[in-house]
Amino acid sequence: MVNAGPKMKKLLALITVTLLAGLAWGESYEDVVRDRLKPVGTVCIEGEACETATVTAAAPVASGPVSGDEVYASACAACHNVGVLGSPVLGDAAQWTARVSKGTETLYANAINGIGSMPAKGGNASLSDEAVQAAVDHMLAALE
* Terminal Cα-to-Cα distance of the chain (whole angstroms): 98
Structural domain count of the chain: 1
pLDDT of residue 30: 80
| d(C-alpha 16, C-alpha 116), whole Å | 63
Give the structural domain span for 120.
68-141
Position 55 in a domain: no
pLDDT of residue 56: 45
Q: How far is CA 108 from CA 79, 93, 125, 137, in A?
A: 17, 18, 15, 9
Residue 118, domain CATH: 1.10.760.10
> Residue 11: pLDDT band by 50, 70, 90 thresholds?
confident
